[in-house]
């Protein structure tokens, strides 16, 4: 009987313990994200949909909400994926032999990238369509009412949708790459079909980021201006409070005396307007009580930070455009093995890595602001305790598409040198020089155009308001100025 090879056993035992440790860490991270997303979604859901008389409807909405929570947790994980990888690399560079960070290694990071890719596919292709069909289903005709009948109908609809999408991908693959190998590879569902379909979805997400991010970068200045207290030179809170109180009193009189007006009144609309005015007045009261430091220092510093971050983003993209013309290594590419802790992915070291992380988060927030500010998606904007279940599903799908495209978006623009791990680097269009170059040029041009237009319009409006020119009886453009005789009359 041969003696056991203790070296082989020790290596296998060590690998086994490393896999168990990575599973525990991944589970803890996902559980944390899931709890945060569940708390977030419960603040926006409509309580009436979960306390209905029909128990089946309430159960269906609860199941759909849990699926949305799972999808939103994956979206948040996709946002944190690239920043977490960059920070982990710098930590391993700074503390290479620290005992307490031995759990942080390339295998863990590579596994997190693969898990996010897998569950993003699962959420976009199966879970979210299932949640939507589940909430809209009523069961087949003649079947028993209940949750089980809705499940049967949802499964049938999902199978038909899967066949439709599979056929569309088959046709698209035959048109783009008309050879026998590409058509036969479609039979391999996991190795070709899902990555190819996710590549198309990611490309749409990157295009959506291209449109929403410049719009959001321009909107960030106005959104920040609404949240912070402006200096007295730029804002007269006393006048706003007086106007708000006057409008509130007028609406109150109309609600109390509905018969005094000869026009029919929409009382529900009037009550909503009154509630909005009261909320606005409370916010104005809080802003009036702000300290001089918040008023005179907070607003200029916030505007300066936004201007620096936006200008730095455009500058990095412009430098990356020049690098694309000179060096082929500037093209985004995938990396199969995560070799962390060997070299910094920024020329400025740890400081540059922190700047990269801040820029990635800033662009993601700007893209979300631009997404909800665009006229096409403005109706999807969630409302506090008044968001329908189908609207929550739509928001989760859109946020997942945006967030899962964020690593590809950041690497394509040259915001970081961290190469894409796992299946994120297998997208065919990443190797096309013309697509990458035109994408960078379009982003720089659109961002500059939006900023120039918004900034000049905002400065012009603030100067007019500061000097009181908005109160002058200026004529409306397009109409002739009234004669002096008419004005005296």
Residue 331 DSSP code = S
Contact status, residue 361 vs residue 432, Cβ threshold 8 Å: no
Reduce the DSSP state of residue 375 to 3 states and report it.
Answer: coil
Helix axes 350-373, 194-227, angle to 10 degrees: 90
Cα 346 from Cα 316, distance rounded (Å): 12
Greatest distance between any 2 Cα atoms in the chain: 119
Residue 234 DSSP code = T
Identify the sign of the CA torsion 72, 74, 75, 77.
positive
Cα 241 from Cα 392, distance rounded (Å): 35
Helix (H), strand (E) counts: the chain: 16, 2
Contact status, residue 43 vs residue 384, Cβ threshold 8 Å: yes
pLDDT at 361: 92
Place of tokens 């899931």: 34
Strand ranges (E), 359-428:
420-421
Name residue 420's beta-bridge partners: 334
pLDDT at 35: 93
Q: 196 Cβ partners below 8 Å, 6+ apart?
A: 169, 173
Print pLDDT tens along the chain (489 aa).
444 554 555 777 777 777 888 888 888 999 999 999 999 888 888 777 777 656 777 788 888 889 999 999 999 998 998 888 888 888 888 887 777 777 887 778 888 888 888 888 888 888 888 888 888 887 777 667 777 878 888 888 888 888 887 777 677 666 666 555 555 555 555 556 666 666 777 788 888 888 888 888 888 887 877 777 666 555 566 667 777 777 777 777 777 776 555 555 666 677 777 777 777 777 666 666 666 666 667 777 888 888 888 888 889 888 888 888 887 766 776 555 556 767 777 777 788 888 889 999 999 999 998 888 888 888 888 888 778 888 888 889 989 988 888 888 888 888 887 767 666 656 666 777 888 889 889 988 888 888 777 767 666 666 666 666 655 554 444 434 444 434 444
Cα 128 from Cα 324, distance rounded (Å): 38
Q: 473 Cβ partners below 8 Å, 6+ apart?
A: none
Cα 290 from Cα 296, distance rounded (Å): 10
Cα 230 from Cα 299, distance rounded (Å): 6
Half-sphere exposure of 117 (CA within 13 A, CB side): 26
Give the CA-trace dihedral at 213, 399, 44, 62, to 10 degrees.
170
Give the number of other CB atoms < 10 A from CB of residue 76: 20
> Which residue blocks in 43-105 are alpha helix, DSSP H?
55-94
């Amino acid at each position: 009987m041969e003696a056991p090879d203790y070296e082989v056993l020790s290596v296998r035992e060590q690998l086994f313990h490393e896999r168990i440790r990575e599973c525990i860490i991944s589970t803890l991270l996902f559980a944390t994200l899931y709890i945060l997303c569940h708390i977030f979604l419960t603040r926006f859901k409509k309580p009436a949909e979960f306390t209905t008389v029909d128990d089946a409807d309430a159960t269906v909405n609860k199941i759909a909400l849990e699926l949305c929570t799972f999808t939103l947790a994956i979206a948040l994980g996709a946002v944190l994926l690239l920043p977490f990888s960059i920070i982990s690399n710098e930590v391993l560079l700074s503390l290479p032999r620290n005992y307490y960070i031995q759990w942080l290694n390339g295998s863990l990071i590579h596994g997190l990238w693969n898990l996010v890719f897998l569950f993003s596919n699962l959420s976009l292709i199966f879970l979210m369509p299932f949640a939507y069909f589940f909430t809209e289903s009523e069961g087949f005709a003649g079947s028993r009412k209940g949750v089980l009948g809705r499940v049967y109908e949802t499964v049938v609809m999902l199978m038909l949708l899967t066949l439709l999408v599979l056929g569309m991908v088959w046709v698209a693959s035959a048109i783009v790459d008309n050879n026998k190998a590409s058509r036969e590879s479609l039979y391999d569902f996991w190795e070709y079909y899902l990555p190819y379909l996710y590549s198309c979805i990611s490309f749409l997400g990157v295009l959506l980021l291209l449109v929403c991010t410049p719009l959001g970068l321009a909107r960030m200045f106005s959104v920040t201006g609404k949240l912070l207290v402006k200096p007295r030179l730029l804002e007269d809170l006393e006048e706003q409070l007086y106007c708000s109180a006057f409008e509130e009193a007028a609406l109150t009189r109309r609600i109390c005396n509905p018969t005094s007006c000869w026009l029919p009144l929409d009382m529900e609309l009037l009550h909503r307007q009154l509630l909005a005015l009261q909320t606005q007045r409370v916010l104005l009261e809080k802003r009036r009580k702000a300290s001089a430091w918040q008023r005179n220092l907070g607003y200029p510093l916030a505007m300066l930070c936004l201007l620096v971050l936006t200008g730095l983003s455009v500058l990095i993209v412009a430098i990356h455009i020049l690098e694309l013309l000179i060096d082929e290594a500037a093209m985004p590419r995938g990396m199969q093995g995560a070799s962390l802790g060997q070299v910094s992915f920024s020329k400025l070291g740890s400081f540059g890595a922190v700047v990269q992380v801040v820029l990635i988060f800033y662009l993601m927030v700007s893209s979300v602001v631009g997404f909800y500010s665009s006229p096409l998606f403005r109706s999807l904007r969630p409302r506090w305790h008044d968001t329908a279940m189908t609207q929550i599903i739509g928001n989760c799908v859109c946020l997942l598409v945006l967030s899962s495209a964020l690593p590809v978006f950041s690497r394509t623009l040259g915001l970081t040198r961290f190469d894409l791990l796992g299946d994120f680097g297998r997208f065919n269009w990443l190797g096309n020089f013309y697509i990458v170059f035109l994408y960078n040029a379009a982003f720089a041009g659109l961002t500059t155009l939006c900023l120039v237009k918004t900034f000049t319009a905002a400065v012009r409006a603030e100067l007019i308001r500061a000097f009181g020119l908005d109160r002058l009886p200026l004529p409306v453009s397009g109409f002739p100025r009234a004669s002096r005789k008419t004005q005296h009359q």
